[in-house]
Amino acid sequence: MDQQPGTHPDPHRPAEPAPRPTCCADAESLSILLSALREETGLLRTLIDNMPDFIFIKDEKSRFVTNNKAHLSQMLGVSAQSEAVGKTDFDFFAAEQASRYFADERTLLASGVSIVDHEEPADDRFGRRVWLSTTKVPIRNRTGQIVGLVGMSRDISERKGQAEALRKSNDELEQRVADRTADLREVNQRLQARLSQLHFLTTTSYELAQFIRLEELGPAVVRAFAGRFARSEIALCLRRADGFWFLAGSSALTDEPSRHAIVRALAPFVASGLQGPFMHEDWTREEALSALRPSRLGDLLCYCAIPLLADNRLVGLVQVFTARSFVPLYDGELPVLTTLAAHAASCLSNAIHYHELGEQARVQGELDAARTIQQQFTPSHKPHIPRVAIHSVYHPANEVSGDYLDYFQTDAGDWVVVIADVCGKGIPAALFMVMLRSVFRLEGRTATSARKLLCAVNDAMRANLDDRSFVTAVCLVISADGTSMSCARAGHPMVIRIDAGTSHTPEMVRCSGLALGLVSDNELFASSIEEITIPLQAGSRFLLYTDGVTEVTGSDGQTPYGIGRLMELLARNPGASPETIIDTVLADVKTYSNMDVFQDDLTMLAMEVTG
């Protein structure tokens, strides 16, 4: 039933079919559809042609159907689509690269499994090596049959380059870390070896100092030297007016023939002496040693002769027979052996002197010998330091002293100046002074600053100082050209400086520091030591002294001389030479105390910058 005007349509009634289009309407719609399709195709083509990625379509035989501009120009090296259609990768790339592409595509077309983000190196049409990330997807028709593939490759060379640079950077960092670790390991090994050597020297010095009788000291010296060799036979001979005398030896050298052969081997040194160690790699080839019997020494073919010198005088000579494996170690062991030889020579010199004096004069002889050795240890010459003049005085209160005065040159050419005062007097203090000198000289060879040297000496000495013993010291390290110095002190009276300016007012060089051996914690000790670097200006003067100067009492026996009187005395003599400064202070101390003999060990060193 037709709908009446003004009524609503029935929603349940089927809609009237639309009228069929006319022929003209069909043509117009098709034209519009084709136009829209062409427009979309153009837009799609414009899109892919303006993408930087390489886009291509291939048929089922891996022949190019279409390519975007980037792929045509940059990878295939052509300018028009017509130059690529129907061709394969073999027409554009090297056989190896084209074969790889073709094999991948055969697998894809056969399996239907896409290749996604496959990274591989490639050479473009111009021979440039690039890295590509490639995705290839199969194309299927309406029935699902694979009829081709579409591929897109992206140039990831920059990313790969960055990754490679990062890898190389990591490799270089790892190598630097490995190199640094190796360096630290080597430094640690050298440090451990150095500490081992110091411990050995400190221990053996202390052990040798316990013996005064030659029959006890001789075997102790042999044992001490044997401690530096894995396997050895050792003989010790003393120098006498008419030649050498066999004192002690290890088991293979104590029979009578070996003793005589050992002494005869030293005949060349009876007249000329021996001033330094030497080594033979094979003693059996040496005529002077031909009297020895090789059967008693086996494979100990390396021979070392080490002179024992006291005050440049040959006291004795140690002969060492050891394995030839020692030859490459000789240079590294030489400083330890020569230092040990100096200790042994001092002890032997003292023992010889004691032996010659006889039992009746044993005590006095011991003290005289010790005094002689100490005087030999105290420098008697003035060092030739550029721009610096030095004068010193050393007055022990008794036969031996606990004061230590020294100056010597480091391996690098710098100069070390040391004044120290061992707590106590007499033989114990003198023994510690001897050890202190050895440690300072050994550590001072490589010293670069006063603070580092004091820390090294404290670390070596603290094991040999009991809770009641300590050492005060002040140390200077003067540069080789005499233009500056580092100053540090360990509980010692401060250095006095008289500046080169117009006022000439004496002043203290203030730097803090605990005494040597006072604390067992070496880090605590090191943190307490303050170092001052002082430029050396022409006309400046410095005075170093022990407390024997300021603590001497007046005629009342109670009032000390004091630092105030010393500063006033120096202020009255601002331009005095080092010799005049020392003489003036000594004269004033004697006047104040009204005594010619000092109550305590007294040591002073005055220094003037001349250049």
Interacting residues of 362 by C-beta distance below 8 A, sequence separation 6+: 354
Instruction: Tell me what the pLDDT averaged over the chain comes to.
Output: 84
201 has a pLDDT exceeding 50: yes
SS3 of residue 502 by DSSP = coil
| Cα distance between residue 344 and residue 168, in whole Å | 57
Q: Which of 452, 280, 427 is nearest to 366 (CA)?
A: 427
Interacting residues of 326 by C-beta distance below 8 A, sequence separation 6+: 229, 230, 302, 304, 333
Pairing of strands 415-422, 403-409: antiparallel
**Per-residue DSSP letter, 488:** E
The number of helices, as runs of H, and strands, as runs of E, in the chain is 16, 20
pLDDT digits (tens, 9 = 90+) for 291-324: 777 667 888 999 998 999 888 888 899 999 999 9
pLDDT digits (tens, 9 = 90+) for 32-45: 766 666 666 667 77
Q: Which of 268, 326, 264 is nearest to 293 (CA)?
A: 264
Structure tokens at 514: 């605990």
Pairing of strands 278-280, 302-310: antiparallel
| Cα distance between residue 294 and residue 246, in whole Å | 19
| 210 alpha carbon, distance to own chain's centre | 36
Residue 531's pLDDT is what?
Answer: 96
pLDDT digits (tens, 9 = 90+) for 315-373: 899 999 999 999 999 888 888 898 898 889 888 888 888 777 765 555 455 555 555 66
Residue positions counted in the chain: 611
Interacting residues of 333 by C-beta distance below 8 A, sequence separation 6+: 228, 326
Sign of dihedral through CA atoms 113, 116, 121, 124?
positive
Residue 41's pLDDT is what?
Answer: 65
Query: In percent, how much of the chain has pLDDT > 70?
Result: 86
Residue 475's pLDDT is what?
Answer: 96
HEC-encoded secondary structure of 350-393: HHHHHHHHCCCCHHHHHHHHHHHHHHHHCCCCCCCECCEEEEEE
Q: What mean pLDDT comes out for the span 398-411?
A: 81
Structure tokens at 186: 């080597």
pLDDT digits (tens, 9 = 90+) for 427-467: 777 777 888 888 999 999 999 999 999 999 998 887 676 66
- Rounded to 10 degrees, what is the CA torsion of 344, 350, 352, 355? -140
pTM higher than 0.85, yes or no? no
Domains of the chain, earliest start first: 46-160 (3.30.450.20), 206-357 (3.30.450.40), 381-609 (3.60.40.10)
Residue 2's pLDDT is what?
Answer: 46
pLDDT digits (tens, 9 = 90+) for 543-594: 999 988 998 888 887 889 999 999 999 998 888 999 999 999 999 999 898 8
Asked if 102 contacts 62 with a C-beta cutoff of 8 angstroms, the reply is yes
| 243/376: higher pLDDT | 243
Instruction: Identify the residue whose tokens are 């250049």.
Output: 611
